[in-house]
Structure 1
Amino acid sequence: MMKYLIRTSFLLLNLFTASRLIAQQQQPEIIASITPPAPDMSGIAVTSDNRVFLGFPRHADNHQSFALAELVDGKPIPFPAASYVYPSSKAYKDWLVSPHGLYMDKNDVLWILDDGKRDGIKEIPEGAAKVVALDSRTKKIIHTLVIPKPVLSDDAHYNDLRVDLSHGKQGTVYIANSGFGERYSLLIIDVATRKTREVLLNHYSTSPEPGFMGFLEGKPLIYDFKAQTFPSGGIDGLALSPDSKTLYWTAITGRRMYSLPTATLSNPAVSEKQLSDSVKYEGEHPACDGLTEDEKGNIYFGAFEQQSLVQRTTDGKYHLLAHDKDNFVWPDGLAYRNGYLYVTLGQWNRLPSYNGGKDLRKPPYLVERIKVNTN
């Protein structure tokens, strides 16, 4: 009888704990519901006064619509002007070809990573791949940093970026190249001099993890570069510590997080071997696409296997923020601002290229946010 009571009490305690955890999860709020002919979105960035910007890349769908927009009353409005975000016959450096990663700095300058890639076109023309710094208040373009040849590669996929304003006269940009081909690396741009370097090329920390197997919507899938069945590649998500002293990164095809001191990474005098030897393994993480960070140093993940949003606190512990098997199909771009975590849900694993030519996406494409505890 006593054993039965103990077991029953233990079961009730577990159920009570589980119910508390579920109750503690905040309910995500849908802030935009985007339907065709509007395109599918990826990157997201938020200003200090909660204005939301979205990027609409053309690497998976060479659409003829806007490539960058601000959410106004839940609707995407071309930003900063239609002439800059729609396809154009102007020089490639003078319009947004395929913006992917977005980053909002402390001055509300929107940094846009244009990977320059369009579906069905192998070449990335010089001028198409670039970083644009745009004042979100005045709409003025502050910098256009073209990724030059020979650093520029048609096999590159410039996916995410962070801007470190503490190194270099005008800052340093770090770019994740997750690779359309088997080329994976970090790019570093000195904003003042515009000098661009490619480092950690096909390094173990920037490459897909060999033998990776993941679950997507309940299906076990094995990574195969020659027969891809889900979005895959190398270094993808980036996060920058609040003091700008550490850059973190993850590979989209992997579960290991790495870091480097920005003092080392931004210094062109540091050799490739020194960089390689300085890479720090930060432990495992949920398989994810993008990352974001808050002012306390917590890092956030869109866990595509678990269809969840997850927080890693500064003590290295992980916390479930929200789970939604219906809407969190492929959490993609993440942004944190003023106590909220924002996420774009583009359903990229349902693209025709991963599903025998069938487009399995089910619009609308959602943008959601959730209140988070940063302590």
Structure 2
Amino acid sequence: MAGMASCELWNGNPPSEPEPQHELELVFKDSIYQLTGVGVAANGRVFTNYPLWSDIYRYALVETKPGNQVIPYPNAEMNSWQPGQNGEDKWVCVQAVYFDDADNMWVVDPAAPRMAAVYQQSYKLVKINARNGEVARTYPFDSAAGTHAYVNDVRVDTATQYAYLTNSNEGGIFVLNLATGHVRQVLQDHYSVKSDPAYTFTVDGHELRKNGKPVKINSDGLALSPEGTWLYYKPLTDDKLYRIRTEYLRDEGMNNAGLGEKVEDLGHFTTTDGMIFDHDGNLYLGDIEHYRIVRIDPDLKMHTLVQDSLLIWPDSYQVSKDGYLYISCSQIHKQPEYNNGVNKRTSPYTIYRYKLD
């Protein structure tokens, strides 16, 4: 059921059910291959990516076309990596695709097939000119992260020419100077990038577990406020939300202890994978446990935007130029490794959009 709920401050209990108003609109579906990200260009072109997590795999990054068709992007050659080949100039395991305010495409390749070790230090952030499909620049991460990192998501400040990314496996924030290519990892030991071990992450009435142990995913989603002043971020498998001023992150003279003192704990909200701001300063998060999308206004009051059984692990987000919130659904909790080897998926992987007021 879709719609807006009355305004209420989050207090640890789910807000009231939304009243019917808008509908989720299906943009793309894939019945075979598992997608995670969604990126929308200024002219409305829609892109998605497929991480190399299993043998059921074909392309890493694609442009979607009518009729649920796809074209490997930017070309077939870049999507042709095989184990044993050089991974620096090809996609190895793409996790996210994102468009900044200047309509540049950014692609996150953690280069960790099956979420194992990084392949030959080929993790990277790639900038692409989507108007002509040319790779503008590749930023490697081998100077800032070890082989057990999983570079997960990205937001770019076009004014300061800095990018911010998360390390969801180990916990940490990458700060990348786009002009120089220098990348640092910060806050690795801070509680804000670590999933709360006391939180029970429950989907479909069961705690998510792998190999008999509770699944704990660290700093994952992040969002840059419209003016670029604040970076919001959180671990995936608990409901806490944090923020820090980006001026502190860009200050290379501040050590991790000093940065940790600048982190603001905003309280309890939802368990979300990704998150994104609109231009009015509203923050959109998923709620994996309750199949919904929420909106947090600038006063930190949370509203249910849309709640629907179709939102099967809402994953990544993009706000388009014409005022739609695009949502990818990756169904991660239905993967065999989280269900004693049984594939629980019964419907396609999907991308929806929702008209924002």
1:129 lines up with 2:119 in the alignment: no
Is 1:336 equivalent to 2:319 in the alignment? Answer: yes
Percentage of matched positions with identical amino acids? 27
- Residue type matched to 2:280 in 1? K
Taking the aligned partners of 2:315 and 2:332, their CA distance within structure 1 comes to 8
Distance change in 2, residues 1:117/1:62 (3 Å): farther
The one-letter code of the counterpart of 1:110 is: M
Paired letter, 2:355: K
Could you tell which deviates more after superposition, 158-167 or 344-353?
Answer: 158-167
Matched residue, 1:221: 207
CA contact (8 A) 1:302 1:334 kept: no
Q: CA deviation at 1:210?
A: 2.1
1:118 to 1:165, Cα distance in 2 relative to 1, 3 A: same
State the one-letter code of the partner of 1:331.
P
User: Cα offset for 1:132?
Assistant: 0.1
Work out the CA distance in 1 between the residues paired with 2:282 and 2:186.
Answer: 26
Who wins on radius of gyration, i.e. which is larger? 1
Note if 1:194 corresponds to 2:181: yes
Q: Which runs of 5+ in 1 are unaligned?
A: 1-17
Of the three residues 143, 146, 156, the one matched with 1:153 is 146
- Once the 2 structures are TM-superposed, how far is the Cα of residue 215 of structure 1 from its aligned partner? 2.4
SS in 2 for 1:305: helix
TM-score, scaled to structure 2: 0.90
After TM superposition, the structure 1 = structure 2 runs for residues 46-195 of structure 1, keeping only pairs within 5 Å, are 46-58=40-52, 60-73=53-66, 74-88=68-82, 90-119=85-114, 122-149=116-143, 151-167=144-160, 171-179=161-169, 183-195=170-182
Structure 2 residue 223 is the aligned partner of structure 1 residue 249: no
Q: RMSD between aligned alpha carbons?
A: 1.9
- Alignment-mate amino acid for residue 357 of structure 1: G
Any idea what SS the aligned residue of 1:213 has?
A: coil
Partner of 2:6: none
Rounded to whole Å, the distance in 2 between the matches of 1:63 and 1:188 is: 33
Equivalent-residue separation in structure 2 for 1:69 and 1:241 (angstroms): 28
Greater relative contact order (CA < 8 Å, ≥ 6 in sequence): 2
For residues 257 and 189 of structure 2, the distance between their equivalents in structure 1, rounded to whole angstroms, comes to 13
1:287 paired residue number: 271
Q: Does the aligned pair in 2 maintain the 1:45–1:102 contact within 8 Å?
A: yes
Q: TM-score, normalised by structure 1?
A: 0.86
CA contact (8 A) 1:64 1:87 kept: no
Q: Distance in 2 between matches of 1:318 and 1:72?
A: 35
Q: Is the 8 A contact 2:113 2:119 kept in 1?
A: no
**Unaligned ranges ≥5, structure 2:** 1-15
1:123 Cα deviation (Å)? 3.0
For 2:193, the equivalent position in structure 1 comes to 206
Q: Distance in 2 between matches of 1:195 and 1:280?
A: 26
Distance across 2 between alignment mates of 1:258 and 1:271: 18
Cα–Cα, structure 1 residues 361 and 139, in superposed 2: closer, same or farther, change >3 Å?
same
| Contact 2:220 2:235 (C-alpha < 8 Å) held by counterparts | yes
Secondary structure class of the residue paired with 2:340: coil
Report the equivalent of 1:8: none
1:226 Cα offset (Å): 6.5
Q: Give the direction of change, closer, same or farther, for the CA distance of 1:322–1:63 in structure 2 (3 Å limit).
A: same
Supply the distance in 1 between the matched residues of 2:187 and 2:27 (Cα, whole angstroms). Answer: 38
**1:303-353 Cα deviation digits (max 9, x unpaired):** 11110111111121111121112x212111111112111111121101111
Q: Distance in 2 between matches of 1:303 and 1:294?
A: 18
Say which SS state the counterpart of residue 101 (structure 2) adopts.
coil
| 1:283-306 deviations in Å (ceiling 9; x for gaps) | 221111111111111111111111
Partner SS, residue 315 of structure 2? strand
Give the 4+ runs in structure 1 shifted more than 3 A.
224-230
Alignment of 1:294-309 (within 5 A): 294-309=278-293
Query: May I ask how many residue pairs the two structures share in their alignment?
Result: 339
1:140 aligned partner, one-letter code: E
Matched, 1:30 2:26: yes
CA distance in 2, matches of 1:252, 1:155: 18
Indicate conservation of the 8 Å contact 1:334/1:344, yes or no. Answer: yes
String of CA shifts for 1:148-193, please: whole Å, max 9, x gaps: 14x33222121111112232xxx112111010xxx21111121222
